[in-house]
Amino acid sequence: MIPVPRSGIFERVEGIEAAESVPGVTEIQITARLHDYVAAWPEGSSYLGFIFARADSAAEVEKALREAHARLQFRLSPRLAVEHPATGKIAT
């Protein structure tokens, strides 16, 4: 599971090809929708996607997952504060 590094609007992900080239990585799925707001834990409850790997040992799989994750760069922009038209409260 690819955690949300910080809350914001998901703009893009870079480095997918580099992450896929890590030995043992079999697939990378980005499931977050572009331009949607994503919240980091503990406020959030979802992930940006998933990295799948296969190797001869759990340690090799973990190494591949960590290396692939390190090659991914998620671009998030801040969510703008907006005043609710009925209540006048600022939502961020």
E-strand stretches of the chain: 8-14, 25-30, 37-38, 49-53, 73-77, 82-83, 90-91
- The percent of residues above 70 in pLDDT, for the chain, comes to 98
The pLDDT tens digits for 25-68 are 999 999 999 999 999 988 888 999 999 999 999 999 999 999 99
What residues contact residue 1 under an 8 Å CB cut-off, 6+ apart? 47, 50
- Show the domains of the chain with their CATH numbers: 8-91 (3.90.600)
Of the pLDDT bands very low, low, confident and very high (cuts 50, 70, 90), residue 91 is low
What residues contact residue 20 under an 8 Å CB cut-off, 6+ apart? 27, 28, 68
The pLDDT tens digits for 30-39 are 999 999 999 9
Longest CA span, the chain: 59
d(CA 48, CA 54): 21
